Amino acid sequence: MIPSHEDEAQTGSLQGNAFPAGALHAFMRWVKRLTILRSTPRATPARGRATERDLRMMRRALDLARKSADADEVPVGAVLYRGDEIIAETHNLREAVHDPTGHAEIMVIRRAAAAMKTWRLSDCTLAVTLEPCPMCAGAIVQARVGRLIYGTSDPKAGAVHTLYNLCSDRRLNHSVEIISGVLADEAGELLKTFFRRRRAENKADLEQPRPIRSRPRDR
Ligand SMILES: [Zn+2]
């Protein structure tokens, strides 16, 4: 008769050479836990330091973010460059082009890939004033962008370090060299000012006298 697991558990230790079932299960649980731990993405701290060129490009991205605000778009600017060569640059265009994917990073990646006639941007750096969201972080990985420099963190949508680590998740087939917090105060101040102004405008709209509606007639 073939012994059951329980039989093995009871007799294993007595037989000496058999592995007790309880110990085997504990070992399997340990292996599973180890596998989960190994596959869990780690928050990768920003490595390296921004070079003079990176700072120059980020200042350019900040100028684009200001233009974005002037055009009533959320002020985020992006520059994609290879060495000293700027391949593409833009800001948020979601309102202008009525496109939910119209974030600065997506637009600049599309333009750069079209200009270079390749979707692989592995020898390029992307400088963006705000931490990319999940959509943009995904696009950065898909485009195999070599380096990412970003300004301020995004507590509500940041997918590079804050909420997710998409650009450094070892389960994905590409990881990006990341430098965060570059001219972050300026980028953050632009966003704060923009949303403060927008809230004030919305409040003013609400306080505008409205036309008196006709009363509903009694039945
Ligand atoms: Zn985005």
- Residues 8-61: tens digit of each pLDDT: 444 444 444 555 667 767 766 666 655 444 444 444 445 579 999 999 999 999
**pTM for the predicted model, two decimal places:** 0.74
Ligand 1 center to 196 CA (angstroms) = 21
Ligand 1 center to 146 CA (angstroms) = 18
Q: Tell me which residue of 198, 178, 214, 200 sits closest to 54, measured CA to CA.
A: 178
Ligand 1 center to 49 CA (angstroms) = 23
Residue 172 near residue 81 (C-beta atoms within 8 A)? no
At residue 31, the pLDDT reads 60
Give the span between the Cα atoms of 129 and 76, in whole angstroms: 6
Residue 71 near residue 96 (C-beta atoms within 8 A)? yes
Instruction: Report whether pLDDT(161) > 50.
Output: yes
Cα atoms in the Cβ-side hemisphere of radius 13 Å centred on 98? 0
Q: Is position 105 annotated as part of the catalytic site?
A: yes
Ligand 1 center to 177 CA (angstroms) = 18
Catalytic residue among 73, 89, 105, 131: 105
Residue 139 vs residue 211, higher pLDDT: 139
Residue written as tokens 């195999």? 144
Amino acid code (one letter) for 60: R
Highest mean pLDDT among 24-28, 119-123, 201-205: 119-123
